[in-house]
Structure 1
Amino acid sequence: MPTSSISPSSVTLMEGSDITLECRTSGIPSPDVSWYLGNLVTSYQQQYNLKQHYTTLKMINVSSNDTGKTVLCIAENIVGENESSVILVVHFPPKITFLDQAVLDHHWCIPFSVRGNPKPKLIWFYEGAVLNETDFIWTSIHIAFDSEHHGCLQLDSPTHLNNGQYTLLAKNDYGTDERTVSAHFMQDPCIGTSSVISNDDDSASPLHHVSNGSNTPSSSEMGSDAVIIGMTKIPVIENPQYFRSTNNMLKSDTFVHHIKRHNIVLKRELGEGAFGKVFLAECYNLCPDQDKILVAVKALKEASENARKDFHREAELLTNLQHEHIVKFYGVCVEGDPLIMVFEYMMHGDLNKFLRAHGPDAVLMADGQNNRPAELTPSQMLHIATQNMTKYPYFITIKK
């Protein structure tokens, strides 16, 4: 049987390099020798030395498209055939060959294709800053072969806060490449109108008021000298010393907690109040003992200078309202627009609606449905009233 062997036995080289392969053969009678190159893209030259029983293959300016391809040397005589092979490993810098606008599949997907060898490291940037991947935003490679990688930046339930410029950076030891695409997932809730998409049992927020015929005060009824906190009317003193006055509810050392925008992931809209829309959201890194918690997020509707002043004034006021029976105010996000306030999420809605749904009005609010909530017992109503009354001595103490 004839034999054949190629040297070098393994080939790793840089794109654009030249290399010469040598194939030596033996056998009786002397075998014919040939190269099998398949669909090799790289230019090459072949030389044969029949007396010395070897042949050479010189590849010139090796193409990155040939990485992973196999080159064969075949020796054949009347006795049989033998072949030897070598796989080309071509190193080259990354190249982003495709990056397109976001599309909605199971999740939102910003599709991309990247070539590079060794495998490039992929880094995403959002609006120029490194994008930290989470359970809600992550890179997924769907197809990978040789030096090509096809995948998506997956986004789970993105909102208008995720709209913007996304840049993909691919890098390995031989270079880098980057491309940018603009992604739009959702209209800014402060622009235009949209309907409430939550159901009754899950639509709760400290700033979402549903009157159902009750006497819930509106901002127009209360005038410009008041703000609404839950269902409570708090007077506001209009003067330049508001933030430092010792005669109101603000302390001289008030510090409003600021929350990073990327830590807030909106889930759905809950409702709309006088000052803006309210969303159910997940907030990361807010509580030291929990990775994330559900919160109610209020996005400021108007971005005028007066609205911004009112926003910061209300934030300072709310920061000083710390009581176990008052909806907790966590802080604000003022990185860009819209300005955002973050509150404790109240699963069962505002107290007025809850009491009516579990009281004599339950028949009217059930709207013909048979599975209306059970009425509260006298002891339960007394317990709620007692908790509610504990706020008022607290208000008196902080106003002194």
Structure 2
Amino acid sequence: MELYTGLQKLTIKNSGLRSIQPRAFAKNPHLRYINLSSNRLTTLSWQLFQRLSLRELRLEQNFFNCSCDIRWMQLWQEQGEAKLNSQHLYCISADGSQLPLFRMNISQCDLPEISVSHVNLTVREGDNAVITCNGSGSPLPDVDWIVTGLQSINTHQTNLNWTNVHAINLTLVNVTSEDNGFTLTCIAENVVGMSNASVALTVHYPPRVVSLEEPELRLEHCIEFVVRGNPPPTLHWLHNGQPLRESKITHVEYYQEGELSEGCLLFNKPTHYNNGNYTLIAKNPLGTANQTINGHFLKEPFPESTDNFVSIYDVSPTPITVTHKPEEDTFGVSIAVGLAAFACVLLVVLFIMINKYGRRSKFGMKGPVAVISGEEDSASPLHHINHGITTPSSLDAGPDTVVIGMTRIPVIENPQYFRQGHSCHKPDT
């Protein structure tokens, strides 16, 4: 049958078939229908069909012996497996009589019972552990652990503690985190059938950053990461050594499935301010792991004057130092201020005095101009211009006075002056 790996239906009828090897259908996993009726089969093992998903098994008109070897058929018929409940099956008893299968009664012939020392086993990475599986029943079952795919070092030790009990210990050495979530299965088998029990293995271990990728533009820029750890670690990010806070530009999205955390640090339209080193920190009670990646999103617009730019993540308050000046400095400042105030007052006083008295000349004349001999066009050197300023004192002045400033000066005419002037210009007779 090894050549027909895709076989789904098999019919062997009226062929005089007497026996079939227990692993005859091991290479035919797709078998769904088997018809072995009208043959000379006296016994048949359940192990033939152990790994098959049979929809129908036809076994009518065979000469089965009533024994523990066909007890599994009776159980399948009771449970309606493979449509055996719709068939009329018989067996031949020890006295040669034909007996309906459902009436067969065989003592000490049952499915094995099984138990394990742990239903859930939790260990730390690197520890050792021992699990015991007990199989009992009649006939006495074979007991074993199914550890296919287990990465940790393991050993099996069989112990027959007492009658009808078969115990086997499974020892795990230097348990690895790769086995976290592994299901350990213990099976107990006899001619009637198989029973099994499972143990869920949980391994606690520190977090590990499995991968941290450089930024990649998708719908948004994404720094993809994968982190493992049990218990599941908490995640934190640093930008250039400073805690990274989520904002409209930067946020984290990830999903967690068991020990695995996978997601992205996302950037919405980042600028050159977002360039720098990004550190992922994963932490759980057993330890901490971190990894750093450099993210470059945009070139700086003015690289020659980068000193004028301050990263929004690196802003720190500038310390302010307050220096208390000595009392001597305060006293000196007070003196300087006082002198300056005094100088200002002095300048103001001088300015007022100049405005008030500076317009008057020392030799200025007030009042109406004195006119010598009452004539306006006199050639006298004492003739003055009237500036239009009239004072009472000037009005009181007589015709023979001249007012200079606030002083009245009497004017005395010299008759000889005028006469001499005439005589000089008078022609001789």
TM (norm. structure 1) is: 0.48
Larger Cα Rg: Structure 1 or Structure 2?
2
TM (norm. structure 2) is: 0.45
Greater RCO (CA < 8 Å, at least 6 residues apart): 1
Question: Which structure dedicates a bigger proportion of its chain to strand?
Answer: 1
